[in-house]
Amino acid sequence: MTKFMDVHHGMVGITDQQFHQAHAADLAIQGDEGVTFEHAWADPEAGIVYCLSEAPDADAVQRVHQRAGHPADEIHRVPLSL
């Protein structure tokens, strides 16, 4: 398992409720792909959402996000963390 940081753009104006709902949609199906979403952060002004996960690979992260209706624009393997 490796850590991944994925990034979503185009989320300008995302509300706290929308953010929670989107994250809950990921959590509901993450087990199917062996993914564990650990944290997420949103900048509603710039419309950027960051998600940190542990996953077998980037494709697994993307499959969860796609099925939840919000595919990621970038997925980065972040093997170094502090």
Burial 48-72 (b: 16+ CB within 10 A, else e): bbbbbbebebbebbbbbbebbebeb
- The only residue of 50, 54, 67, 71 in contact with its own copies, by rule CB under 8 A: 50
- The only residue of 6, 8, 14, 33 in contact with its own copies, by rule CB under 8 A: 14
- The only residue of 28, 31, 34, 43 in contact with its own copies, by rule CB under 8 A: 43
65 near its own copies (CB under 8 A): no
Give CA separation, 16 vs 19, 22, 41, 44, 57, in Å. Answer: 5, 10, 10, 9, 28
Residues lying near its own copies in the complex (CB under 8 A) are found at 3, 5, 14, 16, 19-20, 23, 39-46, 48, 50, 52, 76-82
